[in-house]
Structure 1
Amino acid sequence: MTQHHEDNWRSADWSSSGVIRTKPEINESAIYILAARTGGLKGALSLHSWLVIKRAGTTSYDRYDVVGWGIPVRKNAYDADGRWYSNKPFVVREFHGAEAETLIPKIQAVIDEYPYGKPGNYTIWPGPNSNSFVAHVLRSVPKMGIVLPSNAVGRDFPTAGKLFEIDDDWQNFHATFFGYAGISAGSRSGFEINLLGLVAGVDILNPGLKVPGFGRIGF
């Protein structure tokens, strides 16, 4: 996939990428976790991630991102599957039907109570940033069963204020020094070491290596 390191907000392409269906079924419930390379020099090392929710009985998606200006948590500021600084997003994970319908209210409750949602709360590194927000939702709703890609810098920031944390289902644990360094281990993370936001590790259940700045390489 071609990656753009566009750093000009005005000239970048933010249009819909076609990664998810433009017109969803009205009775469909769905959740998407999307990510794309970010802009400028930081795009060489990191992704920007966001959440997309489609509720049954509606004809549109709701997109939730965190951005670095104004109120951090934005709803529908961009197309649901819009490019990010001209980079086409990819689907990290998706949920549909009854599974999505069960998860949506739990996700919405976490979004509504995000502890870094006030102006001035955004910090590009080590967080809380856009990836810290999405990772906070995933950790708070462990039934989603996933973690963000290892090159989503900021995902390991301790948004709950805990330097040591075990997920509610006991499938993953995280230890961090305020996002600057840490380790994670478990069925979702495999084994990871985080130093200054860059992650190296091994994916055990789905064999692969996690390379700093690049992400996962499967065997």
Structure 2
Amino acid sequence: MLIIRPLLLAFVLIYLLPAALATGLWWMGQHPTSWSKADWSSASLLPLAGEDKDAAVYILAARTGGLKGALSEHSWIVTKAPGAQRYERYDKVGWGMPIRHNGYAADGRWYSNEPRVVAALHGRAAEAALPDIARAIQSYPFAARGGYRIFPGPNSNSFVAHVLREVPALGAVLPPAAVGRDYPTDGRLVRLDREARQFSVSLFGYAGLSIGMQSGFEVNLLGLVAGIDPFRWQIKIPAFGAFGFAPRIA
């Protein structure tokens, strides 16, 4: 009993309180009430594909729609071959085609929410990674219709996280608010990635632990992620995401 009370208090303060605050702030904000009323246009975040002759790879994320946007983001993959005049975008969604290809602008807003770049490769590094990314997209085990579940996954973030794990050259993990990223799409509950120097444990996405050079230290409870990243001077707050506190250098 002496142990349970402090753990319960920690859970309320670290996880439930930020989630409740984020939900309240989101509810008071202005958001589209339906899919048809949302803005899906380009945010002009990426350079024009035709003006950039090199290969490029981007991982983007934006807050999702409805009240769940208070707690979670949607992520997607954008690629461009050398000399290509357009980007190729890949999303996993819960409606329509299982893997949506070019269903939206490469850097389009998601339910009116501005996207941001989570990871990027350019030039020769991107060109070398393109075949591996294509294979990872093709190998996604939940690509068929019906292979989508909002929580704990597999969902849109589970798909992108699968590609990131299969292509270490991307050198990134999805942000803490990308609910579903920790779902074990290959069924492995314990994972040690020596190349990425990452160790993770997942209870089918409902809870998990990650330690490594890419993520720092994270604890996932019911899709809410808290942690610290000493390598990037970040603190990770459930529902809100990661915040940097890099020291000033004279």
TM class by smaller structure: over 0.9
From 173, 176, 199, the counterpart of 2:202: 176
Cα distance between partner residues in 1 of 2:139 and 2:97: 14
Whichever structure has more helix as a proportion of its residues is 2
Shift in CA distance, 199/4, structure 1 to aligned 2, threshold 3 Å = farther
Q: Does 1:77 align with 2:103?
A: yes
Query: Structure 1 pair 55/205, CA: closer, same or farther in 2 (3 Å)?
Result: same
- Distance (Å, rounded) in 1 between the aligned partners of 2:30 and 2:127: 35
> How much is the aligned-residue C-alpha RMSD, in angstroms?
1.5
Q: Deviations over 1:33-59 (max 9, x none)?
A: 111011101100111000000001321
Q: Is the 8 A contact 2:61 2:117 kept in 1?
A: yes
Pair 1:196 & 2:222 matched? yes
CA distance in 2, matches of 1:19, 1:76: 16
Q: Is the 8 A contact 1:4 1:87 kept in 2?
A: no
2:61 aligned residue: 35
Q: Percent identity at matched positions? A: 56
Contact 1:70 1:120 in 2 (8 A): no
Q: Is the 8 A contact 2:74 2:156 kept in 1?
A: yes
Residues 208-219 of structure 1 aligned to structure 2 (within 5 Å) = 208-219=234-245
Query: Which whole-Å CA distance do the structure 2 matches of 1:94 and 1:113 have between them?
Result: 22
Q: Kindly provide the CA deviation profile for residues 49-71 of structure 1, in whole angstroms up to 9, marking residues without a partner as x.
A: 00000001321000000000133
Runs of 4+ that moved beyond 4 A = none
Instruction: Name the SS of the counterpart of 1:74 in structure 2.
Output: strand
What's the secondary structure of 1:24's corresponding residue? helix
1:13 aligns with 2:52: no
Report the Cα distance in structure 1 between the residues aligned to 2:179 and 2:30, rounded to whole angstroms. 18
Superposition deviation, residue 5 in structure 1: 3.7
Contact 2:120 2:170 survives alignment (8 Å)? no
Alpha carbons of structure 1 residues 182 and 15: separation in structure 2 relative to 1, 3 Å? same
Residue equivalent to 1:47: 73
SS for the counterpart of 2:51 is coil
Q: 2:154 aligns with which of 110, 125, 128?
A: 128
So what's the TM-score if we normalise by structure 1? 0.95
- The number of aligned residues is 218
Q: Distance in 2 between matches of 1:4 and 1:95?
A: 34
Q: Counterpart of 1:65?
A: 91
Counterpart residue number, 1:144: 170
> 1:117 aligns to what?
143
Counterpart CA distance in 2 for 1:7 and 1:198 is 25
Unpaired runs of 5+ residues, structure 1, are: none
Give the Å deviation of 1:4: 5.4
2:196–2:214: 8 Å Cα contact kept in structure 1?
A: no
CA contact (8 A) 1:158 1:179 kept: yes
* CA drift at 1:143: 2.0
Q: Structure 1 residues 166-175 or 182-191, which shifts more? A: 166-175
Taking the aligned partners of 1:144 and 1:23, their CA distance within structure 2 comes to 20
Q: Does structure 1 residue 205 correspond to structure 2 residue 237? A: no
TM-score by length of 2: 0.84
Over 3 Å counting, the alpha-carbon distance change for 1:7 and 1:22 in structure 2 is farther
- C-alpha distance 216-26 of structure 1, shift in aligned 2 (>3 A): closer
